[in-house]
Amino acid sequence: MRESWWESLLDDVSSFCDSHGILIPKLDEPYFPGKSKRKCLDVCYSHHLRVEIFGAVIDVQLQEFNDRFDVVSSDLLLGMGSLNPVNSFSNFDKDRIMTLAKCYPNEFDDRKLRDLSY
């Protein structure tokens, strides 16, 4: 998840910065924390942004998601997301849809579940 979203986010941020005249640091240059130019950490801007910022934000968001929703609610949300027609159903996931169908036993009996699984 992190790797696929990173490139998309980087493209969106770069486009935004370009259109608003915001200077973007060169991502392969060394990263200096704070205002000190003497304390180089042997990491580049790209690593700092991807690992220390983006990764940390994803971890916080996932933890908040897990704290707010139980497993059944998460399965329902993920199953509904799998049915989203955006980008030609790019999020389609048969297993998540099967899990979603199992949450509705009055609508999907064993025969319908078996038919849906093919």
32 contact partners, CB below 8 Å, separation of at least 6: 38, 39, 40, 41
pLDDT in tens, the chain (118 residues): 556 677 888 888 889 999 999 988 888 888 777 666 566 667 888 888 888 888 888 889 889 888 888 888 888 888 888 888 877 788 788 888 888 888 888 988 888 888 877 7
Of 27, 35, 30, 29, nearest in space to 9 by CA: 27
Predicted confidence (pLDDT) per residue in 23-36, tens digit: 888 888 887 776 66
